[in-house]
Amino acid sequence: MENIDKRVAVAMSGGVDSSVAAALLKKQGYEVTGITMCFSAPGGPVFGGNLLHLETKKPSCCGLAGIEDARRVCHSLGIRHYILNLNKDFSRQVIGNFCREYLAGRTPNPCVRCNQLIKFGVLLKKTRKLGFGILATGHYARVSKKDGAYCLKKAGDLKKDQSYFLYRLNQAQLKHVIFPLAGMTKPRVRQLASDFGLRVAEKNDSQEVCFLPEGRYGDFIKSTQDAAGFRPGNFVDREGNILGRHRGVVFYTIGQRHGIGIPAPHPLYVIKIEAGKNRVVLGGRQEVYKREFIVKDTHFVNKPAKKKIEIKVRIRYNHKEAPAVVYLDKQKCRVVFRRPQFAITPGQSAVFYDKNTVLGGGIIQKIIDEDD
């Protein structure tokens, strides 16, 4: 009888991480197949769509070059390679949400949503139907099992740890997922790529949102939407005094300093976005620091045992998690940091950690301002 647990689908972007993940699994004796997700628009040559391809010199996992790199790696490893067109799912569940959130004055994290709904949602389901027992990716994170439940933990290399982006995974997903690079450093991964003879060994990492390799999110949204978020409006201070004019709320985020263009005796930062009033509130740096906020759409890898927990919370990927008290209440919770943190931003994810273990998290909904 065929051992389905030895059949592994590797999500391959054409980058060095997923390529090494595939090579390692083959070396370990798994039956490996590379699968590349393609995000396209109707009318083109790849499974009924044109590739979403932005002209850029920066690496992207959504472009033709990434797919071609993945194909070449699979060929060199002697494994099969397939392309799956997930345009409709990606457009509706990731890009659509991304645009709506910015238009509402919030700053979303599309990578979190993509991991939950696309990579470990749609893709995982498709690979299971195709007879693969496991889905592997090049993420830097760990999955372990304790007392019959799966745990999500930080990677061995904390500088590359990506557990923040994976906090919404559930038990059913973690059961069928492996991360071959869990304990490795990036230099080690590149050395392995070279040892395996992979052409992507020195390929640069993608640092931006995959469908925005140049990071121009405001221009991207403007090209796809017709909404009030692009109407110029007023910059105001906390008292409502007009300080100048802004381009449209989609071009700003909490904590932003550059691109404001208003002369002042001290640097001005975005401290609040009022999309309904088409206003952007500015203030000094200290006004960007807050302690308390509300989280919605909370999710836990395992169900929390208490209504109140003292843990560490990370409010964006490049933020060092800080001690906080979390008060749980069904699908919402209140988070209170011991010390004020810079730029708590609605739309971003707040992820809860117990040492190196991800407990869960949710979407930042509202900052509780002590001065209001």
Residues whose CB is less than 8 angstroms from the CB of residue 282 and which lie 6 or more positions away in sequence, other chains included:
235, 236, 237, 243, 260, 262, 268, 269, 270, 271
Supply the DSSP symbol for 51. Answer: E
Written as one string, the DSSP assignment of 116-141 is IIIIIIIIHHHHHHTT-SEEE---SE
Largest CA distance in the chain: 75
Of 62, 114, 151, 333, the catalytic one is: 114
Asked if 167 and 299 count as a contact pair (C-beta separation under 8 A), the reply is: yes
Residue 293's beta-bridge partner residues?
335, 367
Asked if 189 and 181 count as a contact pair (C-beta separation under 8 A), the reply is: yes
333 is catalytic: no
Written as one string, the DSSP assignment of 153-220 is EE-SSTTT--GGGGTT--HHHHTTEE-TTTT--HHHHHHHHHHTT-TTTTPPPP-S-TT-TT--HHHH
Of 99, 111, 210, 333, the catalytic one is: 210
Strands 357-368 and 279-283: unpaired
The two structure tokens encoding residue 130: 């195709």
- Of 96, 114, 44, give the one whose Cα is nearest residue 53: 44
Residues whose CB is less than 8 angstroms from the CB of residue 39 and which lie 6 or more positions away in sequence, other chains included:
51, 52, 62, 85, 86, 87, 90, 91, 211
99 is catalytic: no
d(CA 330, CA 170): 17
Q: Where in the sequence numbering do the catalytic residues fall?
A: 114, 210
